[in-house]
Amino acid sequence: MRVKDLPESDRPRERLLRQGSRALSDRELLALVLGAGMPGCDAIEMAARLIDERGGLVALAQADPHTLSRLRGVGPARAARVTAAFELARRAAGVAERRRIRGSGDIAVVAAPFLRGLRHERVVVVACDGNCGVLRVVPLTEGAADRSLIPVRDVLSTVLAIGGAAFGVAHNHPSGRLEPSPADAQVTELLRDAAETVGLRFLDHVIVTETAWARVS
């Protein structure tokens, strides 16, 4: 039975609005993303064919838009919609599983992939929500081989622009030394005071090397 031949209360959109998205099957949800079918094949049938042709919903979710656009009845516009829907789902899942910063070591772990393997110093900001869940890690500045610049105003602006409520800062020492410099200690105090002024929570400032990390006390 075609969608338009179903009683209005049984159509996917109406059922979703009435019962919630969990009440719909995979093909019905995909049909809503597709928006319409094609001659001789309604949206639900088309959704079922796409899932079958790709070998299941997981395989369909992993298909690139160019591959999808070549499937019968899809085209670039629908391929873009399907790809975007699956990407939103992945991002939402990532937010649900967001890493929480429970201590200075977590800042080092989250920042390390952005800092290791460099021959110059880099500063990254780890912006977090109110529960210390990581929202984003942002490379902020690139320094010389022996020093980094941590502009306090830019750090705060970055966190606020992301919508963060808390943040940590990390930078690398290409020399491999973990000892903080006087400038590192000074900027840590400036960050702590400035964060309090604008209502943000300053978590910590850490130094990361290729094999270890340390707090800037």
Question: Does residue 157 share a domain with residue 140?
Answer: yes
* pLDDT at position 209 over 60: yes
Average pLDDT rounded to a whole number, residues 159-164: 94
Question: Does residue 109 share a domain with residue 211?
Answer: yes
Question: Does residue 116 share a domain with residue 21?
Answer: no
Would you state the pLDDT for residue 79?
86
pLDDT band at residue 72 under the 50/70/90 scheme: confident
Question: Does residue 108 share a domain with residue 52?
Answer: no
Structural domain span for residue 13: 3-96
- Give the total number of structural domains in the chain: 2
pTM over 0.85, yes/no: no
Q: How far apart are CA 142 and CA 211, in angstroms?
A: 20
Per the prediction, the chain carries an average pLDDT of 85
For 163-187, how does the pLDDT look when each residue is reduced to its tens digit (9 = 90+)?
A: 999 999 999 998 899 999 899 999 9
Q: The domain spanning residue 133 has which CATH number?
A: 3.40.140.10
- Comparing CA positions, the residue from 90, 108, 118, 91 lying closest to residue 176 is 118
Question: Does residue 163 share a domain with residue 112?
Answer: yes
Question: Does residue 108 share a domain with residue 35?
Answer: no
Would you state the pLDDT for residue 87?
81
Q: How far apart are CA 84 and CA 77, in angstroms?
A: 11
Question: Does residue 60 share a domain with residue 142?
Answer: no
For 103-157, how does the pLDDT look when each residue is reduced to its tens digit (9 = 90+)?
A: 999 999 999 988 988 888 999 999 999 999 999 999 888 875 445 578 899 999 9
Question: Does residue 68 share a domain with residue 130?
Answer: no
Question: Does residue 209 share a domain with residue 128?
Answer: yes
Question: Does residue 204 share a domain with residue 120?
Answer: yes
Domain boundary among 43, 68, 96: 96
Cα diameter, the chain: 75
Residue given tokens 């719909």 in the structure block: 24
